[in-house]
Amino acid sequence: MGSVYGHIFRLSSFGESHGVGIGGVIDGVPSGFTLDFEAIQHELDRRKPGQSAIVTQRKEADEVEFFSGIFEGKTTGTPIGFLVRNTNQKSQDYNSMNAAFRPSHADFTYQQKYGIRDPRGGGRSSARETVARVVAGAIAKQVLATIGVRIDAFVDQVGSIRWEGTWSTDLAQVRENNVVRVPDMETAEQMENLIREVRKDGDTIGGCVRCVITGTPVGLGEPVFDKLHAELGKAMLSINAVKGFTIGSGFEGVEMRGSQHNDAFTAGGATLTNHSGGIQGGISNGMPIDFRVAFKPVATIMTEQQTIDTNLEETTLTGTGRHDPCVVPRAVPIVEAMAAMVILDFYLRQKATF
Amino acid sequence: MGSVYGHIFRLSSFGESHGVGIGGVIDGVPSGFTLDFEAIQHELDRRKPGQSAIVTQRKEADEVEFFSGIFEGKTTGTPIGFLVRNTNQKSQDYNSMNAAFRPSHADFTYQQKYGIRDPRGGGRSSARETVARVVAGAIAKQVLATIGVRIDAFVDQVGSIRWEGTWSTDLAQVRENNVVRVPDMETAEQMENLIREVRKDGDTIGGCVRCVITGTPVGLGEPVFDKLHAELGKAMLSINAVKGFTIGSGFEGVEMRGSQHNDAFTAGGATLTNHSGGIQGGISNGMPIDFRVAFKPVATIMTEQQTIDTNLEETTLTGTGRHDPCVVPRAVPIVEAMAAMVILDFYLRQKATF
Amino acid sequence: MGSVYGHIFRLSSFGESHGVGIGGVIDGVPSGFTLDFEAIQHELDRRKPGQSAIVTQRKEADEVEFFSGIFEGKTTGTPIGFLVRNTNQKSQDYNSMNAAFRPSHADFTYQQKYGIRDPRGGGRSSARETVARVVAGAIAKQVLATIGVRIDAFVDQVGSIRWEGTWSTDLAQVRENNVVRVPDMETAEQMENLIREVRKDGDTIGGCVRCVITGTPVGLGEPVFDKLHAELGKAMLSINAVKGFTIGSGFEGVEMRGSQHNDAFTAGGATLTNHSGGIQGGISNGMPIDFRVAFKPVATIMTEQQTIDTNLEETTLTGTGRHDPCVVPRAVPIVEAMAAMVILDFYLRQKATF
Amino acid sequence: MGSVYGHIFRLSSFGESHGVGIGGVIDGVPSGFTLDFEAIQHELDRRKPGQSAIVTQRKEADEVEFFSGIFEGKTTGTPIGFLVRNTNQKSQDYNSMNAAFRPSHADFTYQQKYGIRDPRGGGRSSARETVARVVAGAIAKQVLATIGVRIDAFVDQVGSIRWEGTWSTDLAQVRENNVVRVPDMETAEQMENLIREVRKDGDTIGGCVRCVITGTPVGLGEPVFDKLHAELGKAMLSINAVKGFTIGSGFEGVEMRGSQHNDAFTAGGATLTNHSGGIQGGISNGMPIDFRVAFKPVATIMTEQQTIDTNLEETTLTGTGRHDPCVVPRAVPIVEAMAAMVILDFYLRQKATF
């Protein structure tokens, strides 16, 4: 019962990796907004499998059909229903895996929770589910752009290779020019090499995505529980394979003293540093919102592992199927999508004042 | 409008640091449960200021009055209203601070968002607000104990001093025997010395709290958005001063390969390692739930800082008032409280099945 | 933003009368339940236009496509996405009506609220939207049947002709044997004649649907705001053309004295009378839940009416298109569907206890 | 778990009739609003027992203590916690009633649902609970007044005596000048005599409250489920003793033809008639919102009734305690309060647009 997200701009998502498709209903979309359908497709393409040699070689058209809520290209304020059909399921790839639970995957917990599961390709627990998020996020992103909000995610770590440069939106094109989506071509090459090496071993590797949001108005966030960064954290942690979220100084700030960490104000309300990551007391302060998301290595690997069968007795399993050796390049548009959904929802909540 | 937390077990909290008090309404409490009022007070005492030389010297009785929902010591299933009165407000401490925004505090964002704020001691943005969470969490903890769920938080880092030992519930008493709440007396002494030194400088320091939950039934969590660790993340990030959340391997898992990171199953469903932190696919797997929370250094420091006044023009400010040099010792019961609220809420949601 | 219904069993609906179709996502469906697809289609057929001479002559196949949440005929506990395509839209029928607001229809208010609307056939405000409710309700009905809950709605009034007989489930077949769906063949004939006469005049007429639910367990309902009859009332009032809702004695009970109205208990907890309509204090008491719903005459009539154009200046309008002269025969399955959604949602909420 | 009401302007209520008191938390109150505390007290006084000879003779001070969310008389946008203490409980009045379930009261259903109940004076199911609604509603009413919304409820029926005059706000003072709260002194006298007679018999009688809301902006309401009148219906049906709700023509409209019932538009968007009751398609149209609420006769009567004891075996019971012979005079401010909460919540939801 947890497939509805948002308070006002609200996505109700559905779909499994090897069923008819992935889709959803977006309620609370502002009315009278002219949608850029190509831009939506562009975001789906950024998430799509088969884009490059370092991601899964599954091919999916990932074209979205809209069913409602749009009249002559404009949103009508009524719910937008949509579907992205699955076209390239190879269910037979999963046959050998049905009888055993894949380690660190959701097979076991879904089976225990629901007493039943769609075993084809992970079913609902597959990252294919994020297609619906990308559609909703692409719409949110467009709406936000009209008020000057810009959302850029990028890879800043793969394994232990980390890019620690200074982000600026000038680097957005560099990021798109390499298959890893890191804002530096040299680091990109190193990361790509690492991913290729890991894949050759039939193995996988983790990575981090950083996201910077500029242009957010001051005042978004609803303390004390629905703090802006708390909801961003939930949104990111709800993405497959995410194990950590930090905002601003994060775990590094722990080692700082208050006198170093405090962001001194300058006239007008900007701050000299941004250890706060653009949010103070759960409310945006107008500085760039800046957070990082940790993705674990993909669970499906091509080497033999110790596991259990459906009787919970020990067996072994060797992964098959076409999987990403590292998820972060394709996670970039997903992080942006969830960020857009959160920021727009809080923007609309903030308008619900007298 | 963000002061309500939870779906079924739901806290609606209120109160400011220097007003009448902090309180709330807890709706959805299971009926017929005999409350242990001393245990509730014990949790409030763990959070209370003035417990030791390394925390703020404010004195608060922090006694809770219950208004409803309890008959002859038992919960009736109707909402529990409660209040913890503020008794030791020194509002004058804040006079000098009214005219200037404290750097990295919520003064500026509250003022911008609401156009008005209660300037006494931070008002609603003060960590005193967490008193309501501790009351609700203490009740949740008791209910959870009856099904074998146990929640232990402890400090594992202050500044750059980190305890990396192996937690076991045997260490719970050690944790309570030192003022830092770290499960090792030697580390405790080092951390305490660091905190004293920082305080002497009129400065503050960050820290981390780790939380381990045992006995959680398999199957809690509601994918795809309300994943158990996503909601735990939101709950933790909603606590004052928190800048990061990780579950299981967290940011360290990023550097691992899938073959190292995967938790091999053993007969019955347990796993050899617990990089997943007790949750797979957003659903508890029966292993200990294990997460870490990063707290930044407290913003109020006793040295002069560059800031702005209410006209957004530059000025300087030197903090006054009685503040914690490091929040983590007092954050331990707050982390446990929020964890208990989340786990109980998901337990009840899981029961809402056919 | 009001297209999501329910707390645990939750429908997120979408679609307009003359767009691609009507559909939705149902989240919170219990897992492992074998669906009877014919029974779902049967409910859609009961709602379908063109069933008899006294309803609209539009023809719609009204076949439902399911996209997710079902594996080998069983629910998996994940969201069920679905679509019922529109096949028989005659958009040109509405051309003349685009320029003027139809009196007592939602054209004017939608235009004012959203600043835009899909003018074809009422768009989102069309009763065609209820198709999604019937699909979700048909699933809820099946789940409820397994615990012995049975829901029967029927027409008990058309214009001033009222059937005041005693309902029993034996009459269910009689109800289905006549086109008005009244549990008495003689009354059915009178009502049918009235509807034919009204239609001949290019006019429309109102009516009432009564609904009786048997087998509801004692204890459903969540006071003080989410009382069972309050939520049933909301659910019914959300159906197109509904202007009133009563439970048990309703407005007639107003004229009674307490000594007449009180339902005396008999051993075991049943009551001699059922003026309460099966609910006391907002909680089901095990007696039949019994309520009535008032439907106004359909707004679209075939005679000339005074109205305004989109500049809010006066004009006249004569309705065209194919409309029901009286909605209640087709409203019967819609009332049952919403009742089923409410009862199942409260049944699941009641299970969310310790 | 149903004690939270509203989406943005949200009341979380608590309290029992014979416990410490009744209170709540109001989240989502607009900030910077100067509260008129006397006006809040005035609404509580209108609801208060002991106002006249025809209502219960219990005496309650019904003074509200505010705990938070207000600074120097102004709302700060943070939650408002409050308590109205119970001062005049005579618990012994209820002793004889503990052992038996009062017919048509909530004793039986609460006991069955929760397995426990506070038996003193009905506990949570007592109409005393509505005190919290009146406080929240009084605040909502004040906020709404600043945008020209005015809410007037009045009694229009007691037993079979009905006032069918034309309401205008000129009659507001007449309504307050008689103890029944009907806008006509002569009818008031007849109704008062009926109530006195009924009380002399140890009996009770039902009645109706009509409510007229003027000045509501066009465009409030969130189809398809959260239609404005659907939520008003739920709000009213959640008030103790309510068995029916109609808007506009209600059950009388059923007997009309479309050609009679349709509200013809006049230039500018007003309508000649108001059978719609100010709402079309679930959205306010700018005409007065006009609805009626049916209250059954109070269940507690002073004559012997057939009932069952806690073993569900037959016994008899004669009511004691101080009860209203007819609730509608005191229900007037409660109906206004719930209406205000609904309208303000929808007003704020409508502002949550781009």
Which one of C3, C5, C66 would you mutate to disrupt binding with A, by most A Cβ within 10 Å of its Cβ? Answer: C3
Q: Which among B8, B67, B71 has the least Cβ separation from residue D21?
A: B67
What average pLDDT does range B253-258 have in this prediction? 97
Contacts of A315 in chain B (CB under 8 A): none
Chain C contacts in chain B segment 3-42 (CB below 8 A): 7-8, 28, 30-31, 33
- Strand ranges (E), B33-102: 64-66, 70-71, 74-75, 80-85
Would an 8 Å CB–CB cutoff place A116 in contact with chain B?
A: no
> Is B8's CB within 8 Å of C351's CB?
no
How many angstroms separate the CA of residue C106 from the nearest CA in chain A?
A: 14
Distances (CA, A) of D337 to A333, B241, C147, C281, D332: 47, 39, 39, 20, 9
> How many other β-carbons are positioned within 10 Å of the β-carbon of residue B71?
19
Question: Is residue A172 within 8 Å of residue A342, measured between CB atoms?
Answer: no
What is chain D's mean pLDDT, rounded?
94
- Phi then psi for residue C71, to 5 deg, are -130, 120
Burial of C24 (0-12, 13-18, 19+ CB in 10 A): buried
Alpha-carbon distance of D310 to A76, in angstroms, equals: 56
pLDDT at C179: 95
User: Chain A: residue nearest C3 by CA?
Assistant: A27
- Strand ranges (E), chain C: 4-5, 10-15, 21-27, 64-66, 70-71, 74-75, 80-85, 150-158, 161-162, 207-214, 242-247, 279-280, 283-284, 289-295, 304-308, 314-318
What average pLDDT does range C51-59 have in this prediction? 80
pLDDT at C91: 55
> Does residue D38 have a pLDDT over 60?
yes
Confidence of residue D323 (pLDDT cuts 50, 70, 90): confident
Alpha-carbon distance of D301 to B145, in angstroms, equals: 45
Dihedral over alpha carbons C210, C216, C219, C222 (to 10 degrees):
-50
Closest CA to A242 of C142, D277, B281, C136: B281
Would an 8 Å CB–CB cutoff place B224 in contact with chain A?
A: yes
Beta bridge partners of C339: none
> Is A233's CB within 8 Å of B245's CB?
yes
Burial of D95 (0-12, 13-18, 19+ CB in 10 A): exposed
Closest CA to D7 of D351, D342, D354: D342
pLDDT at C117: 83
Question: Is residue A19 within 8 Å of residue A125, measured between CB atoms?
Answer: no
Which one of B104, B313, B316 would you mutate to disrupt binding with A, by most A Cβ within 10 Å of its Cβ? Answer: B104
Alpha-carbon distance of B63 to B45, in angstroms, equals: 9
Chains A and B: how many Cβ contacts under 8 Å?
371
Which token pair is C220? 């459903």
DSSP string, D45-74: HHH-TTSSTTS-------PEEE-SSEETTE
> Does residue C95 have a pLDDT over 70?
no
How many angstroms separate the CA of residue D258 from the nearest CA in chain C?
A: 5
> Is B205's CB within 8 Å of A306's CB?
no
Alpha-carbon distance of A340 to A232, in angstroms, equals: 10
> Is C118's CB within 8 Å of A19's CB?
no
Chain center to CA of A126: 13
Alpha-carbon distance of C295 to C288, in angstroms, equals: 22
Contacts of C83 in chain A (CB under 8 A): 67, 81, 83
Question: Is residue B142 within 8 Å of residue B149, measured between CB atoms?
Answer: no
Question: In terms of DSSP H, where are the helices of B146-257?
Answer: 172-177, 185-200, 228-237, 250-253
Which token pair is C334? 């819609």
pLDDT at B98: 66
Contacts of C237 in chain D (CB under 8 A): 227, 229-230, 233-234, 245, 247
Would an 8 Å CB–CB cutoff place D282 in contact with chain C?
A: yes
Q: Which among A108, A261, A264 has the least Cβ separation from residue B296?
A: A261
> Is A21's CB within 8 Å of C67's CB?
yes
How many Å is the maximal CA-CA distance in chain D? 66
Which token pair is C125? 């405000």
Alpha-carbon distance of C65 to C334, in angstroms, equals: 19
How many Å is the maximal CA-CA distance in chain C? 66
Helices A328-351 and A37-47 meet at what angle, rounded to 10? 140
> Does residue A49 have a pLDDT over 90?
no
> Is D32's CB within 8 Å of B80's CB?
no
Which token pair is C273? 């009378």
What average pLDDT does range D262-270 have in this prediction? 95
The model's pTM: 0.97
pLDDT at B91: 55
Question: Is residue A158 within 8 Å of residue A207, measured between CB atoms?
Answer: yes
Burial profile B316-339: b = 16 or more Cβ within 10 angstroms, e = fewer: ebebebbbbbbbbbbbbbbbbbbb
Alpha-carbon distance of D220 to D351, in angstroms, equals: 10
Question: In terms of DSSP H, where are the helices of C81-223?
Answer: 95-98, 107-114, 130-145, 172-176, 185-200
- Phi then psi for residue B148, to 5 deg, are 90, 10
Beta bridge partners of C242: C295
Alpha-carbon distance of A27 to C10, in angstroms, equals: 14
Alpha-carbon distance of D7 to D23, in angstroms, equals: 19
pLDDT at B95: 57
Alpha-carbon distance of C205 to C9, in angstroms, equals: 34
Confidence of residue A92 (pLDDT cuts 50, 70, 90): low
Q: Which among D101, D207, D224 has the least Cβ separation from residue C254?
A: D207
Closest CA to C331 of C294, C284, C278: C294
What average pLDDT does range A135-150 have in this prediction? 98
Closest CA to A332 of A299, A300, A292: A292
How many angstroms separate the CA of residue A29 from the nearest CA in chain D?
A: 8
> Is D245's CB within 8 Å of C257's CB?
no
- Phi then psi for residue A18, to 5 deg, are -125, 20
- Phi then psi for residue B265, to 5 deg, are -80, 150
pLDDT tens-digit map of D118-158? 877 789 999 999 999 999 999 999 999 999 999 999 999 99
Q: Which among A108, A224, A275 has the least Cβ separation from residue B285?
A: A108
> Is B348's CB within 8 Å of C349's CB?
no
CA end-to-end distance (rounded Å), chain D:
33
How many angstroms separate the CA of residue A253 from the nearest CA in chain B?
A: 6
Confidence of residue B57 (pLDDT cuts 50, 70, 90): confident
User: Chain A: residue nearest D224 by CA?
Assistant: A78
pLDDT at A52: 83
Question: Is residue C327 within 8 Å of residue C123, measured between CB atoms?
Answer: no
Distances (CA, A) of A346 to A8, A221, A247, A352, B108: 8, 6, 17, 10, 18
Question: Is residue D296 within 8 Å of residue C252, measured between CB atoms?
Answer: no
pLDDT at A61: 86
> Does residue A93 have a pLDDT over 60?
no
Question: Is residue D14 within 8 Å of residue D23, measured between CB atoms?
Answer: yes
pLDDT tens-digit map of A248-294? 999 999 999 999 999 999 999 999 999 999 999 999 999 999 999 99
Would an 8 Å CB–CB cutoff place B1 in contact with chain A?
A: yes
Alpha-carbon distance of A242 to A292, in angstroms, equals: 11
Query: Of the ranges B336-340, C302-306, D210-214, which one carries the lowest mean pLDDT score?
Result: C302-306
Contacts of B223 in chain A (CB under 8 A): 2-3, 106, 124-125, 238
Which token pair is B250? 């967290």
Higher-scoring residue by pLDDT: B323, A45? A45
Question: Is residue D13 within 8 Å of residue D23, measured between CB atoms?
Answer: yes
> Does residue C275 have a pLDDT over 80?
yes
> Does residue C86 have a pLDDT over 70?
yes
Question: Is residue B82 within 8 Å of residue D21, measured between CB atoms?
Answer: no
pLDDT tens-digit map of D205-214? 999 999 999 9
Alpha-carbon distance of B227 to B220, in angstroms, equals: 9
User: Chain A: residue nearest B159 by CA?
Assistant: A255
pLDDT at B89: 63
pLDDT at C94: 54
Contacts of B148 in chain C (CB under 8 A): none
Closest CA to B26 of B83, B91, B71: B83
User: Chain A: residue nearest D8 by CA?
Assistant: A352
Question: In terms of DSSP H, where are the helices of C16-59?
Answer: 37-47
pLDDT tens-digit map of D217-238? 999 999 999 999 999 999 999 9
Question: Is residue D137 within 8 Å of residue D341, measured between CB atoms?
Answer: yes
Residue with tokens 């769920």: B149
> Is D118's CB within 8 Å of B1's CB?
no
Multiple choice CATH, C4-353, 3.65.10.10, 3.30.1050.10, 3.60.150.10, 3.40.50.300: 3.60.150.10
